[in-house]
Amino acid sequence: MIDRKEAIAAYRKRDVISGVYALHCGVTGQTWVGYSPDMGTVQNRLWFTLRLGSHPSKDLQAAWNGGGADGLAFETVERFDADEAPAGAALQACLARWRAELNALPV
């Protein structure tokens, strides 16, 4: 069994990859696009807030309420290495491009 301190140290040393993700609803056909600085944890965070009923996107929360986790599909659409991640206006342009391409709403 892994020691708790070792597990925490290993978690902190892991490579963190940022990226753009999409959520697709099979029930409504809607799509949402967002960005996360840590693609390894974003789906868990999203599902947690949706399960609690506290996600800020009313449309996304309604889609979750209608179909749960089985009604939503999570997809990574673009990944960035730590030194390549866009910021500021470049990040907003990247998100706008993906939202236009996928006809998506913001997360």
Nearest to 25 by CA among 69, 76, 85: 69
Alpha helices in 1-107 (DSSP H): 4-13, 42-52, 58-71, 88-102
Q: Quote the DSSP letter at residue 2.
A: -
Domains located in the chain, CATH noted: 17-106 (3.40.1440.10)
> What per-residue confidence (pLDDT) applies to 8?
76
Per-position pLDDT tens, the chain of length 107: 678 888 777 767 767 899 999 999 998 999 999 999 999 999 999 999 999 999 999 999 999 999 999 999 999 999 998 788 899 999 999 999 999 999 999 99
Q: What angle do CA 106, 76, 79 make, to 5 degrees?
A: 100
Residues whose CB falls within 8 Å of the CB of residue 91, separated by 6 or more in sequence, listed in order: 35, 85
Residue in this structure with the two tokens 């069994």, named with its chain if needed: 1
